[in-house]
Amino acid sequence: MVCKITGNNLVGNQSPQTILCVEDNKDYLRLRKAVLEKEGYLVLTATTGAEAIAVLREQRVCLVLSDHMLRGTTGVALAGHMKKIKPNIPVVLYSGQVPEAMENVDCFISKDESLTRFLAIISNLIKRYCD
């Protein structure tokens, strides 16, 4: 099935698209979750890499949005683990620091990016990868 996004990110009577948001700073995580939910996405959260892997295994996730600098791991390392579980899941790094290597990462979004541009990138990735 091709993911068709309407104005509120719903397809007919289906559920909203699900984003897994990974961030070890709970304030940033709450803010990111609120912004994405306001756009109509269902947002699952994780504060550690292990928690993120567990959510990915148990839930139907359309996109992963992860900070790069996590306690105990990096977003790039986490992306590698996630791609072993679900090879086609788009993994987006959202960070103030660009990693030297971005193996298994589908997109990098700077924390300096405008909210409008951030949301457009997320929407475009979901349209491209979600099926």
Residue 35, in any domain of the structure = yes
Residue 87, in any domain of the structure = yes
Residue 93, in any domain of the structure = yes
pLDDT of residue 13: 40
Q: What is the pLDDT of residues 99-128, one digit of tens each?
A: 888 899 999 999 899 999 999 999 999 988
Residue 8, in any domain of the structure = no
Q: What is the pLDDT of residues 40-88, one digit of tens each?
A: 999 999 999 999 999 999 999 999 999 998 888 989 999 999 999 999 9
Residue 122, in any domain of the structure = no
Q: Give the chain's domain count.
A: 1
- Model-level pTM? 0.85
Of 49, 123, 45, nearest in space to 79 by CA: 49
Q: Which CATH number belongs to the domain containing residue 85 in this structure?
A: 3.40.50.2300
Residue 90, in any domain of the structure = yes
Residue 127, in any domain of the structure = no
Residue 9, in any domain of the structure = no
Of 20, 5, 27, nearest in space to 81 by CA: 20
Matching residue, tokens 């719903």: 10
Residues 6+ apart with CB under 8 A from 5: 11, 17, 123, 126, 127
Please count the other Cβ atoms lying within 10 Å of the Cβ belonging to residue 72. 10
Containing structural domain, residue 66: 18-114
